[in-house]
Homo-oligomer: A and B are copies of this chain.
Amino acid sequence: MDQLHTSNGQTLSELCEHLDMTRQAVTKHLVILEEANLVATVWRGREKLHYLNPMPLHEIYERWIGKYERYRLRALSDLKKGLEEKNHER
């Protein structure tokens, strides 16, 4: 993903040049990313172009970050409230 992020629409062998694994290993990654809908592909002749699919990251965000991020903010405001109460006690 990082590799595609620096230059989108790369071909399989192009990607391989910058990655320290076999072509097949890279293929495996790409297959998974395709299945996860994070990468879309287009055939151009014998070449397969790979594009980052920018949309579905939002779901990941919602599942893993948003929920806890909201919690984080709540924790902060709780802390603030706590400090304020302590303050008022004096």
Residues in chain A within 8 A of chain B (CB atoms): 1, 5, 52, 54-55, 57-58, 60-61, 64-65, 67-69, 71-72, 75-76
Contacts and interface: CB of A to CB of B under 8 A. Distances in A.
A72 B55 contact: yes
B52 A57 contact: no
How many identical chains are in the complex? 2
Contact of A52 (B5, B60, B71): B71
Contact of A68 (B52, B72, B76): B52
Closest 5 pairs between A and B when the two form their complex, measured CB to CB: A54-B72, A54-B75, A61-B65, A57-B68, A54-B71
A57 to B, nearest CB: 5
Contacts of A65: 57, 60-61, 65
Nearest to A52: B71
A55 B57 CA distance: 21
